[in-house]
Chain A
Amino acid sequence: MMRHRENSKQFVNLCLKAIAIAALCLGSLLGQALAQGGGQLRFCLRSEPKTFDPLKVEDDASGAIRYLTGGVLVRVNRQTQELEPGLAMSWKVSKDGRQISFRLRTGISFSDGTPFSAEDVAYTIQQLMDPALHSPTGDAFRSGAGNVETKVISPSQISIRFPASVAGLDRLFDQVAILSEHSPKKEMAVLGPFMVADYKPGSSVLLKRNPKYWKTDEQGRRLPYLDSIELDIQPNRDVEMLRLKRGELDVINSLDSEYFDKLAVTSPQLVHDAGPSLDSEQLWFNEVARSPIPDYKKNWFRSANFRRAISEAINRDDLSRIVFHGHAQPALGPFSPANKFWFNSRLKPQSYSPDAALKNLQDEGFRMENGALKDKDGNAVVFSIITNSGNKSRERMAVLIQDDLQKIGIHVNVVTLDFPSLIERMTQTFDYEAILLGLTNVDLDPNGEMNVWLSSSENHQWNPQQKAPETAWEGEIDRLMRAQASSSDAKNRKEAFDRVQEILVEQQPFIFLINKHSLSAVSTNVHGAAPVILSPQTFWNAEWLSVSGK
Chain B
Amino acid sequence: MRFWRKLACVALVLVIGASLAADWLAPAGYAKQYRDAINAAPSCAHWLGTDEVGRDRFARVLYGTRISLLLAPAAALVSTLMAALIGGLAGYLGGVWARMAMALTDLFMSLPWLFLLITARALMPLNVSPLVSVLVTFLLLGLLGWTAAARVLCTTAGSLRTSDFVRQARAAGLPGQRLFWVHVVPNLKPVLYAQFWISIPVFILSEANLGILGLGVAEPMPSWGSLLKELEGLVSVGEEPWKFVPLILLVVVVTSFQVLLSRQEEVAA
- Chain A residues with a Cβ under 8 A of chain B: 238, 241, 258, 262, 318, 322-323, 382-384, 386, 389-390, 392, 395-396, 398-400, 402-403, 413-418, 421, 431-433
5 inter-chain pairs at a CB distance below 8 angstroms, sorted by A residue, are A322-B38, A382-B127, A403-B33, A413-B128, A433-B126
- Chain B residues with a Cβ under 8 A of chain A: 31, 33, 35, 38, 52-54, 118, 121-122, 126-130, 211-214, 218-220, 233, 235-236
User: Bound complex: CA of A529 vs CA of B36, how far in Å?
Assistant: 36
Distance in Å: Cβ of B86 to nearest Cβ of chain A: 31
Which A residues lie within 8 Å of B214 (CB)?
Answer: 386, 389, 415-418, 421
Distance in Å: Cβ of A362 to nearest Cβ of chain B: 24
Task: Please pick, from B52, B127, B212, the residue contacting A433 in the complex, using a CB distance under 8 A.
Answer: B127
User: Bound complex: CA of A433 vs CA of B128, how far in Å?
Assistant: 13
Task: Please pick, from B52, B122, B127, the residue contacting A421 in the complex, using a CB distance under 8 A.
Answer: B122
Distance in Å: Cβ of B81 to nearest Cβ of chain A: 31
Which B residues lie within 8 Å of A323 (CB)?
Answer: 53
Distance in Å: Cβ of A200 to nearest Cβ of chain B: 29
User: Bound complex: CA of A392 vs CA of B53, how far in Å?
Assistant: 11
Which B residues lie within 8 Å of A399 (CB)?
Answer: 53, 219-220
B218 touches A413 (CB 8 A): yes
Give B229's nearest chain A residue, CB to CB. A392
A416 touches B212 (CB 8 A): yes
B35 touches A318 (CB 8 A): yes
Give A385's nearest chain B residue, CB to CB. B126
A322-B122 in contact given A383-B127, A389-B211 (Cβ < 8 Å)? no
B127 touches A400 (CB 8 A): no
Give B124's nearest chain A residue, CB to CB. A415
Which B residues lie within 8 Å of A403 (CB)?
Answer: 31, 33, 53, 220
Which B residues lie within 8 Å of A414 (CB)?
Answer: 218-220
Give A403's nearest chain B residue, CB to CB. B33
B233 touches A417 (CB 8 A): no
User: Bound complex: CA of A277 vs CA of B140, how far in Å?
Assistant: 42
Which B residues lie within 8 Å of A238 (CB)?
Answer: 235
Give A432's nearest chain B residue, CB to CB. B126
User: Bound complex: CA of A403 vs CA of B220, how far in Å?
Assistant: 9
Distance in Å: Cβ of B212 to nearest Cβ of chain A: 5
User: Bound complex: CA of A492 vs CA of B122, how far in Å?
Assistant: 47
Task: Please pick, from B53, B118, B211, the residue contacting A400 in the complex, using a CB distance under 8 A.
Answer: B53
Which B residues lie within 8 Å of A402 (CB)?
Answer: 219-220
Which A residues lie within 8 Å of B236 (CB)?
Answer: 262
Which B residues lie within 8 Å of A390 (CB)?
Answer: 212
Which B residues lie within 8 Å of A392 (CB)?
Answer: 52
User: Bound complex: CA of A383 vs CA of B128, how far in Å?
Assistant: 10
Task: Please pick, from A262, A395, A398, A417, the residue contacting B121 in the complex, using a CB distance under 8 A.
Answer: A417
Which B residues lie within 8 Å of A384 (CB)?
Answer: 126-127
A417 touches B213 (CB 8 A): yes
Which A residues lie within 8 Å of B212 (CB)?
Answer: 389-390, 416, 418
Instruction: Identify 11 new A-B residue pairs, CB closer than 8 A, beyond the known A322-B54, A395-B219, A418-B213.
Output: A322-B52, A392-B52, A396-B52, A398-B219, A399-B53, A402-B220, A403-B220, A415-B126, A416-B214, A421-B118, A421-B214
Distance in Å: Cβ of A115 to nearest Cβ of chain B: 53
B235 touches A322 (CB 8 A): no
Which A residues lie within 8 Å of B53 (CB)?
Answer: 322-323, 396, 399-400, 403
Distance in Å: Cβ of B59 to nearest Cβ of chain A: 15
Which A residues lie within 8 Å of B220 (CB)?
Answer: 399, 402-403, 414
Distance in Å: Cβ of A244 to nearest Cβ of chain B: 12
B218 touches A415 (CB 8 A): yes
User: Bound complex: CA of A421 vs CA of B129, how far in Å?
Assistant: 20
Give A397's nearest chain B residue, CB to CB. B53
Which A residues lie within 8 Å of B219 (CB)?
Answer: 395, 398-399, 402, 414
A262-B235 in contact given A322-B35, A413-B127 (Cβ < 8 Å)? yes
Give A384's nearest chain B residue, CB to CB. B126
User: Bound complex: CA of A289 vs CA of B218, how far in Å?
Assistant: 28
A421-B121 in contact given A322-B52, A416-B212 (Cβ < 8 Å)? yes
Which B residues lie within 8 Å of A417 (CB)?
Answer: 121, 213-214
Give B232's nearest chain A residue, CB to CB. A392
Please provide the 8 A-B residue pairs with the shortest distance between their CB atoms, ordered closest to farther. A384-B126, A417-B214, A414-B219, A389-B212, A384-B127, A416-B214, A415-B214, A399-B219
Which A residues lie within 8 Å of B38 (CB)?
Answer: 322
User: Bound complex: CA of A238 vs CA of B211, how far in Å?
Assistant: 21
User: Bound complex: CA of A431 vs CA of B129, how far in Å?
Assistant: 17
Distance in Å: Cβ of A325 to nearest Cβ of chain B: 9
Which B residues lie within 8 Å of A258 (CB)?
Answer: 233
A416-B211 in contact given A322-B52, A386-B126 (Cβ < 8 Å)? yes
User: Bound complex: CA of A263 vs CA of B31, how far in Å?
Assistant: 30
Which A residues lie within 8 Å of B130 (CB)?
Answer: 413
Distance in Å: Cβ of B116 to nearest Cβ of chain A: 13
B126 touches A413 (CB 8 A): yes
Distance in Å: Cβ of B63 to nearest Cβ of chain A: 15
User: Bound complex: CA of A386 vs CA of B126, how far in Å?
Assistant: 8
Give A395's nearest chain B residue, CB to CB. B219
A413 touches B118 (CB 8 A): no
User: Bound complex: CA of A421 vs CA of B213, how far in Å?
Assistant: 9
User: Bound complex: CA of A398 vs CA of B118, how far in Å?
Assistant: 21
Give A414's nearest chain B residue, CB to CB. B219
User: Bound complex: CA of A205 vs CA of B170, how far in Å?
Assistant: 71
Distance in Å: Cβ of B128 to nearest Cβ of chain A: 7
Give A258's nearest chain B residue, CB to CB. B233
Give A263's nearest chain B residue, CB to CB. B235
**Highest count of chain A CB atoms <10 Å: which of B31, B54, B219:** B219
Distance in Å: Cβ of B30 to nearest Cβ of chain A: 12
Distance in Å: Cβ of B232 to nearest Cβ of chain A: 9
Distance in Å: Cβ of B129 to nearest Cβ of chain A: 7
Which B residues lie within 8 Å of A415 (CB)?
Answer: 126, 214, 218
Distance in Å: Cβ of B237 to nearest Cβ of chain A: 12
Distance in Å: Cβ of A257 to nearest Cβ of chain B: 11
Distance in Å: Cβ of A524 to nearest Cβ of chain B: 21
Which A residues lie within 8 Å of B213 (CB)?
Answer: 389, 417-418, 421
Which B residues lie within 8 Å of A262 (CB)?
Answer: 235-236
User: Bound complex: CA of A342 vs CA of B7, how far in Å?
Assistant: 68
Which B residues lie within 8 Å of A433 (CB)?
Answer: 126-127
Which A residues lie within 8 Å of B235 (CB)?
Answer: 238, 241, 262
B35 touches A418 (CB 8 A): no
Give B210's nearest chain A residue, CB to CB. A389
Which A residues lie within 8 Å of B127 (CB)?
Answer: 382-384, 413, 433
**Highest count of chain B CB atoms <10 Å: which of A241, A258, A323, A389:** A389
User: Bound complex: CA of A76 vs CA of B70, how far in Å?
Assistant: 60
Distance in Å: Cβ of A286 to nearest Cβ of chain B: 11
A418-B118 in contact given A386-B126, A413-B128, A433-B127 (Cβ < 8 Å)? yes
